[in-house]
C-alpha cells in the first residue's frame, strides 16, 4: 500500500499504464550559427502551435470550452515576446536553442512559483508544459498522445501536464496517479473536472509499479494498493459502489436549504476567483458567493482594470446570482502577490508588510476605482463588500470614509447605487479575532480567513512545506480565536462566515457548526458534502 495526497474523490480498480516520456538531454554546447539556431527555434515554436491547436480542439470536445481555455493560455505564451524574445537573446549569446528554452523556462517558472497565490503558482505548470513541447520538437521527439486501448486503465506518471490530462479518454482511463503535485496542482484540478479519482504527490509511484499491474486507487484516503488479493478487491468494489450511490444521492441536496437538526439555518456558499466561476457554484446548489477574490481581475495583464471593466465583472456575478448574497472582497494584493505594473517596496517580511487594505488606504486612487465599480454594480443584486487584512478599527473606518466619498461623487454624477450594501471585514489577523467584540459594533459582518489566520496565529508560513506540520486548523489556539470571533459578532447581532479552506474541511465542519458559524464558503465541489454534513449536526 502506498500513500499520497488525495486529489480527486472516488475509487477505481484497474490496470497500470505507465506513462514514460523519453528523456531528452540538454547540453551546454555553444553554437556559432546564431541565425540558423534561431530558425530552428522558430520551427519548433510553430510546430508547438499546431500541436497545441489540435490538443485544444480535442479538449473542447471532451471537457468543454471553459476547461480548454488552458490551451489558449499556452498559445498566448507562444506569442509572448517576453518569453520567446528572452530565448532569442540567449541564442544571441551563443546558447544552443534547447538550452535557451530551458534557461528562459527556469527563470519564468521561478518567478511564478514564488508567488503566494495558488492559482498563479500553478501557471508555472503551463510554462513547463509548453517548454517541454518546444524542447521535444527541437530534439525531433514526439510527446505522443496516450495510446490507451484497454478499458479500466489507471495512468501512472511522474507528472501529468494539462495537455496529457486533456488527452485522457474517460471511457478508458478511470483514475490517475502522479509522483508530484498537490491538491491545487493542475492535474488535480483537471481530475476533479473530469470527475475521476486521482492521488498525487506519491513521490515514487512510477518506480513502484509496472505496466499491467493491478491497482486499487482510493481517491478519498489518498491510498493505492498494488496487486491486491481477491478479498481486498471485493472490499473496494463495495466501497466504490456505495460512493457512487452517495454522490448521486447528494444531488438531491442541490435545492435543499441547510438547516441543522436544532433548526438553525446555515448558508453554504462558494468561493470564486473569476466571474465565470459562478456557474459551477450555482450548479452545486450554493446559497451565495462567500468570497470573490477580486485580485484575479488585476492579474495576468499589463494595466489596472478600469472602473468600467470591474463594474461589468461585478454586475455579471450579481445578476447571475439572482439576489442571492454575493460577498466581494476588495483588492488583496501585496506580499508576493505582485502586479507587474504596480511597483512595490522590497520588504524583509512582505506578508507582514504593505499589502491588501494597507496598500488600498495608501493608494486611494486605486481603491476608489474599485469602490466606485462596486457601488455602481450594487443595484444588480445582493452585494456585500469586505475588506481584507483588517487589524484595527481605524482601518475599517478609514475605508468606510473613502466609500462615503465615492458615494458623494456618484450622487453628484447622477449615478445610482444601492443603500443596502453590507460592509464587513475579513478576520484573518489574530488581533481582529481578539478584538472582535469591539469591531462587531461597527461592521455588518465578519468572514473568517483561516488560511491566513492559522499562519499568523501559529507563526507557520502557509506556503512552507518545512513547517506544514505546524499548520493545524484544529490547534486549540486557532479554535479559540474562531470562537471569540463568532461570539463577539453574535453579541452585537452580526453574522459570521468563514471563507478559508477550513470551511470546506469535513473534520472541522461539526465544530464550526457547534460554535455557531452562520455561513460556510468553499470551492464548488465541496458544497454538497458540506450541506449534507451540516444537515446532520445539532
Site residues for ligand PEP per CB under 6 A: 291, 293, 332, 428, 449-452, 499-500
Strand order in the sheet with 5-8: 2-3, 223-226, 214-218, 11-18, 153-157, 173-178, 198-200, 5-8
Cα–Cα distance measured from residue 116 to residue 471, given in angstroms and rounded to the nearest whole number: 16
Cα–Cα distance measured from residue 351 to residue 337, given in angstroms and rounded to the nearest whole number: 10
Tell which one of 37, 117, 159, 452 touches Mg ion (CB under 5 A): 452
Cross-strand partners of 6: 199
499 interface partner picked from ligand PEP, Mg ion, none, CB below 5 to 8 A per type: ligand PEP
Q: Smallest distance, Å, CB 482 to ligand PEP?
A: 12
Query: Of 99 and 355, which has the nearer Cβ to ligand PEP?
Result: 355
Choose, from 74, 186, 360, 406, the residue flagged as catalytic: 186
450 interface partner picked from Mg ion, ligand PEP, none, CB below 5 to 8 A per type: ligand PEP
Cα–Cα distance measured from residue 391 to residue 335, given in angstroms and rounded to the nearest whole number: 16
Close Cβ partners of 496 (under 8 Å, ≥ 6 residues apart):
445, 446, 447, 448, 485, 486, 489, 490, 516, 517, 518, 519
Q: Smallest distance, Å, CB 358 to Mg ion?
A: 13
500 interface partner picked from ligand PEP, Mg ion, none, CB below 5 to 8 A per type: ligand PEP
Q: Smallest distance, Å, CB 32 to Mg ion?
A: 52
Other CB atoms within 10 A of residue 318 CB: 26
Q: Smallest distance, Å, CB 326 to ligand PEP?
A: 16
Q: Does 334 bind Mg ion (CB under 5 A)?
A: no
CA–CA–CA angle 268, 219, 114 (5° rounding): 75
* Under 8 Å between Cβ of 115 and 39: no
Query: Of 10 and 335, which has the nearer Cβ to ligand PEP?
Result: 335
533, three cell numbers: 454534513
123 interface partner picked from Mg ion, ligand PEP, none, CB below 5 to 8 A per type: none
Site for Mg ion in 378-437 (CB under 5 A): 428
CA–CA–CA angle 531, 120, 499 (5° rounding): 25
CA–CA–CA angle 405, 409, 412 (5° rounding): 140
Q: Smallest distance, Å, CB 502 to ligand PEP?
A: 8
Q: Does 116 bind Mg ion (CB under 5 A)?
A: no
499 included as an active-site residue: yes
Close Cβ partners of 57 (under 8 Å, ≥ 6 residues apart):
none
88 interface partner picked from ligand PEP, Mg ion, none, CB below 5 to 8 A per type: none
Nearest CA-CA partner of 330 in 281, 289, 388:
388
Phi/psi at 325 (5° precision): -65, 140
Query: Of 287 and 501, which has the nearer Cβ to ligand PEP?
Result: 501
Query: Of 133 and 293, which has the nearer Cβ to ligand PEP?
Result: 293
Closest residue to Mg ion in the complex (CB): 452
Q: Does 290 bind Mg ion (CB under 5 A)?
A: no
Q: Does 449 bind Mg ion (CB under 5 A)?
A: yes
Query: Of 104 and 189, which has the nearer Cβ to ligand PEP?
Result: 189
What radius of gyration, in Å, describes the C-alpha atoms of the chain?
Answer: 25
Site for Mg ion in 170-229 (CB under 5 A): none
Q: Smallest distance, Å, CB 388 to Mg ion?
A: 6
Choose, from 74, 360, 406, 499, the residue flagged as catalytic: 499
Query: Of 138 and 503, which has the nearer Cβ to ligand PEP?
Result: 503
Ramachandran area for residue 285 (φ above 0: left; ψ -120 to 50: alpha; else beta): left
42, three cell numbers: 522558430
Q: Smallest distance, Å, CB 452 to ligand PEP?
A: 3
186 included as an active-site residue: yes
Query: Of 14 and 449, which has the nearer Cβ to Mg ion?
Result: 449
* Under 8 Å between Cβ of 521 and 290: yes
Summarize as ranges the residues that interact with Mg ion (CB under 5 A): 428, 449, 452
Which residues are known catalytic residues?
A: 186, 499
Amino acid at each position: 500500500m502506498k500513500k499520497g495526497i488525495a486529489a480527486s474523490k472516488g475509487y477505481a480498480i484497474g490496470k497500470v499504464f505507465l506513462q514514460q516520456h523519453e528523456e531528452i538531454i540538454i547540453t551546454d554546447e555553444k553554437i556559432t550559427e546564431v541565425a540558423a539556431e534561431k530558425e530552428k527555434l522558430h520551427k519548433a515554436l510553430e510546430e508547438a502551435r499546431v500541436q497545441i491547436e489540435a490538443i485544444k480542439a480535442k479538449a473542447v470536445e471532451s471537457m468543454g470550452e471553459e476547461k480548454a481555455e488552458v490551451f489558449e493560455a499556452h498559445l498566448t505564451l507562444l506569442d509572448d515576446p517576453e518569453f520567446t524574445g528572452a530565448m532569442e537573446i540567449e541564442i544571441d549569446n551563443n546558447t544552443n536553442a534547447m538550452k535557451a528554452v530551458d534557461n528562459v523556462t527556469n527563470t519564468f517558472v521561478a518567478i511564478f512559483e514564488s508567488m503566494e497565490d495558488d492559482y498563479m503558482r500553478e501557471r508555472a505548470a503551463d510554462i513547463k508544459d509548453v517548454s517541454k513541447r518546444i524542447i521535444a520538437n527541437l530534439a525531433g521527439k514526439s510527446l505522443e498522445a496516450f495510446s490507451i486501448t484497454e478499458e479500466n486503465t489507471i495512468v501512472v506518471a511522474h507528472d501529468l501536464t494539462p495537455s496529457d490530462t486533456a488527452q485522457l479518454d474517460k471511457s478508458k482511463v478511470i483514475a490517475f496517479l502522479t509522483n508530484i503535485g498537490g491538491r491545487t496542482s493542475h492535474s488535480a484540478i483537471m481530475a476533479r473536472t473530469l470527475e475521476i479519482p486521482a492521488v498525487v504527490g506519491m513521490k515514487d509511484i512510477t518506480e513502484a509499479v509496472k505496466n499491467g499491474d493491478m491497482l486499487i486507487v482510493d481517491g478519498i484516503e489518498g491510498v493505492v494498493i498494488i496487486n491486491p488479493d481477491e478479498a481486498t478487491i471485493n472490499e473496494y468494489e463495495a466501497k466504490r459502489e456505495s460512493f457512487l450511490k452517495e454522490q448521486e444521492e447528494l444531488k438531491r441536496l442541490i435545492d435543499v436549504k441547510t438547516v441543522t437538526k436544532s433548526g438553525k439555518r446555515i448558508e453554504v456558499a462558494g468561493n470564486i476567483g473569476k466571474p465565470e466561476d459562478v456557474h459551477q457554484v450555482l450548479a452545486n446548489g450554493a446559497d451565495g458567493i462567500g468570497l470573490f477574490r477580486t485580485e484575479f481581475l488585476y492579474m495576468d495583464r499589463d494595466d489596472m482594470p478600469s472602473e468600467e471593466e470591474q463594474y461589468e465583472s461585478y454586475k455579471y456575478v450579481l445578476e447571475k446570482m439572482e439576489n442571492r448574497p454575493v460577498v466581494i472582497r476588495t483588492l488583496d494584493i501585496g506580499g508576493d502577490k505582485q502586479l507587474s505594473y504596480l511597483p512595490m517596496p522590497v520588504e524583509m517580511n512582505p506578508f507582514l508588510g504593505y499589502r491588501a487594505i494597507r496598500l488600498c488606504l495608501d493608494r486611494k486612487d486605486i481603491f476608489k476605482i474599485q469602490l466606485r465599480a462596486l457601488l455602481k454594480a450594487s443595484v444588480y443584486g445582493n452585494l456585500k463588500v469586505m475588506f481584507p487584512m483588517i487589524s484595527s478599527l481605524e482601518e475599517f473606518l478609514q475605508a468606510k470614509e473613502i466609500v462615503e466619498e465615492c458615494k458623494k461623487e456618484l450622487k453628484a454624477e447622477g449615478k445610482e447605487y444601492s443603500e443596502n450594501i453590507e460592509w464587513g471585514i475579513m478576520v484573518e489577523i489574530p488581533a481582529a479575532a481578539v478584538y472582535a467584540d469591539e469591531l462587531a459594533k461597527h461592521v455588518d459582518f465578519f468572514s473568517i480567513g483561516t488560511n491566513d489566520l492559522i499562519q499568523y496565529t501559529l507563526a507557520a508560513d502557509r506556503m512552507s512545506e518545512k513547517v506544514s506540520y505546524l499548520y493545524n486548523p484544529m490547534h486549540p489556539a486557532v479554535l479559540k480565536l474562531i470562537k471569540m470571533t463568532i461570539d463577539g459578532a453574535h453579541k452585537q447581532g452580526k453574522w459570521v462566515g468563514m471563507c478559508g479552506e477550513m470551511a470546506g474541511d469535513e473534520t472541522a465542519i461539526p465544530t464550526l457548526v457547534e460554535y455557531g458559524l452562520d455561513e460556510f464558503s468553499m470551492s464548488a465541489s465541496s458544497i454538497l458534502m458540506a450541506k449534507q454534513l451540516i444537515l446532520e449536526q445539532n
